[in-house]
């Protein structure tokens, strides 16, 4: 990720995922991430929530910038 974008991105671990998107033809497309993957995402996207007393972020697959290895 270029230096100019490092301050607006965050890294987190996928703890759950949905079934995927449905396109205009009704076909379901699976998500590019799996539970346990470490991912970078845009910090200003998604919604902050608390799950079991821990801060979490709900984000769409579109907002994932990539997997972190």
Please determine, for residue 2, whether its predicted confidence score (pLDDT) is greater than 70: no
With 0.85 as the threshold, say if the pTM is over it. no
Distance (Å, rounded) from C-alpha 62 to C-alpha 56?
Answer: 17
pLDDT band at 8 (very low <50, low <70, confident <90, very high): low
- At 45, phi and psi to the nearest 5? -95, 160
Are 33 and 16 within 8 A, CB to CB?
no
Confidence band of 3 (pLDDT split at 50, 70, 90)? low
């Amino acid at each position: 990720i270029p230096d100019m974008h490092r301050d607006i991105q965050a890294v987190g671990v996928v703890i759950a995922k949905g079934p995927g998107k449905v396109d205009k033809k009704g076909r379901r497309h699976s998500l590019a991430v799996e539970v346990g993957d470490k991912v970078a995402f845009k910090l200003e996207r998604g919604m902050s929530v608390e799950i079991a007393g821990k801060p979490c972020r709900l984000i769409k697959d579109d907002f994932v910038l990539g997997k972190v290895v």
